[in-house]
Chains A and B, each alone.
With several copies, the nearest count.
Chain A
């Protein structure tokens, strides 16, 4: 846990703590660019120095349940594979259900994409939990499609082809327009048109679930999610 030869001792550990805090709270991996923008200037760190800090933070995790890992889109702190079986237990007990908060968030991304987290929160009137976005990203239904050019450059989210596959749609146009969603009768009619009446297309869903199991970074929704 303790560093040996870092000159200004307190700041040093502090920088790594700030990095740790950011990585543990973020929705997904943070790129070196993002991290540099978030903390580089404040601490007077070059990109290279930042990389060194990250390496040092990674060392700190040597004996932990987590590890700091660089993936394609940046750095993230993740549970080590040897603990994933335990984590799986979290989601085994109860058949996980998608919470209303998750569904609303997904629906807003579908209909209002590209949309920022803040804009979702504006409509929903409540904050969107980091894990909801993570689940949607993990599930492969949603992805970052860019950044809004306002201070902070918040990520913009949009749907993926996987979303269409999993929901058995050929294109988003098949979904009823908003006014029809509002009217319950029209909504039912639209669902009937899609063959998605009261009974969900179970077979299709199962097929998809199996198909995507091998490689999708598939994090199930833990039971708590249904509480929100």
Chain B
């Protein structure tokens, strides 16, 4: 439970202002039961699947049964979290605020003496909260059960074989390019690839040349000249060169030279424990 670094980091980062404050008091210590990865406060909100999840956590944290929620106490703790998040200017989903409002309402209704005339509304306001928490918890558990089930592709693999030559099966005609590109479009839009990669100007010939070079090198080291054919003209040489650089950058190839002015060789990189380049 070492939450100190997160806070001191803020202190280091400059002005007094950046020290989080809760109810006007500078926050020097995070709430005791607040588990936050030391240097990643932002992760906090992602740790919880919403206000119900956070509430469940607070309740479990004190070994309480949902049915025994001490609403006032839980509400206070919940508010502390919310306040903290706001002070740290973390983006807070509206649902958390909504829950805060609801908790406050429940709390006030419990604390306020019930007017004798209000016969119509005798239901304990906590009941609705308890029910929602219970309901949510059931599905939280069910989700864990699903995750634990063996799953094809992760824990289960299909056995598959095909004939060497399927004589009777005529292959279907290739799909139209249009179909292919529309499929790509979907995949890319889904992955928001455009946002993350700047591949706009990369000519595709570089990509296919990368494949060809790799294939050649897979058979053994190659001399640099082998991979760059002057007959292809200036553009061809540039493409080959860019492809080589890209492969080296991605850790797929290594270029080496025995001695100065010796011919350049290109080979597969020596296997390493772990590639420094995971990114494509």
Q: A79-B162, A95-B172, A126-B49 given as contacts; is B138 within 8 A of A178 (CB)?
A: yes
Q: Is A62 an interface residue, CB under 8 A from the partner?
A: no
Q: Is A119 an interface residue, CB under 8 A from the partner?
A: yes
A119 and B173 alpha carbons, distance in the complex (Å): 27
**A165 to chain B: closest residue by CB:** B152
Other-chain contact of A209, B99, B124, B147, B170 (Cβ < 8 Å): B170
A202 and B199 alpha carbons, distance in the complex (Å): 32
A193 and B66 alpha carbons, distance in the complex (Å): 12
Q: CB within 8 Å of B: which of A189-217?
A: 190-191, 193-209, 211-213, 216-217
Total chain A interface residues with beta-carbon distance under 8 A: 111
A190 and B275 alpha carbons, distance in the complex (Å): 38
> Which of B16-24, B76-84, B210-218 is found at the contact surface with chain A?
B210-218
Q: A111-B204, A123-B193, A149-B252 given as contacts; is B172 within 8 A of A96 (CB)?
A: yes
Q: Which residues of A contact B214 (CB under 8 A)?
A: 114, 145-146, 156, 158
Interchain CB contact under 8 A, A158 and B215: yes
Q: Which residues of A contact B123 (CB under 8 A)?
A: 199-200, 203
What are 29 A-B contacts defined by CB distance under 8 Å?
A84-B165, A84-B168, A87-B162, A88-B166, A88-B167, A90-B169, A100-B183, A103-B175, A108-B184, A113-B210, A113-B211, A114-B252, A115-B280, A123-B132, A125-B52, A126-B51, A130-B160, A146-B214, A148-B275, A149-B268, A158-B215, A179-B138, A181-B135, A182-B194, A187-B67, A195-B126, A200-B122, A220-B170, A221-B172
Q: How far is the CB of A41 from chain B (nearest CB, A)?
A: 15
- A residues near B, CB below 8 A? 21, 24-25, 27, 65-66, 69, 76-81, 83-85, 87-92, 95-98, 100-101, 103-104, 106-108, 110-115, 119, 122-127, 129-131, 134, 138-139, 141, 143, 145-151, 153, 156, 158-159, 165-169, 171-173, 175-179, 181-182, 184, 186-187, 190-191, 193-209, 211-213, 216-221
Other-chain contact of A107, B146, B164, B194, B212 (Cβ < 8 Å): B146
Total chain B interface residues with beta-carbon distance under 8 A: 108
A79 and B268 alpha carbons, distance in the complex (Å): 33
Q: Knowing that A103-B183, A127-B95 are A-B contacts, what are 11 other residue pairs whose CB atoms are under 8 Å apart, sorted by A's residue number?
A: A24-B159, A78-B158, A79-B162, A103-B144, A124-B136, A158-B214, A169-B177, A191-B181, A209-B173, A211-B134, A212-B171
Q: Which residues of B contact A205 (CB under 8 A)?
A: 173-174
A121 and B68 alpha carbons, distance in the complex (Å): 25
Interchain CB contact under 8 A, A79 and B174: no
**A65 to chain B: closest residue by CB:** B159
Q: Which residues of A contact B93 (CB under 8 A)?
A: 126-127
Q: Is B186 an interface residue, CB under 8 A from the partner?
A: yes
Please indicate which of the listed interface residues B161, B167, B204 has the most CB atoms of chain A within 10 Å of its own CB. Answer: B161
**B174 to chain A: closest residue by CB:** A166
Q: CB within 8 Å of A: which of B38-84?
A: 49-53, 65, 67-69
Interchain CB contact under 8 A, A77 and B159: yes
- B residues near A, CB below 8 A? 49-53, 65, 67-69, 93, 95, 99, 114, 122-124, 126-127, 130-132, 134-147, 149-191, 193-194, 199-205, 207-208, 210-212, 214-215, 217-218, 251-252, 268-275, 278, 280
Interchain CB contact under 8 A, B157 and A84: yes
**B271 to chain A: closest residue by CB:** A149
Interchain CB contact under 8 A, A78 and B163: yes
Interchain CB contact under 8 A, B160 and A131: yes
Interchain CB contact under 8 A, B171 and A219: yes
Other-chain contact of A217, B131, B144, B165, B190 (Cβ < 8 Å): B165
Interchain CB contact under 8 A, B252 and A146: yes
The 6 closest A-B pairs by CB, nearest first: A158-B211, A88-B168, A107-B184, A126-B50, A200-B176, A103-B183
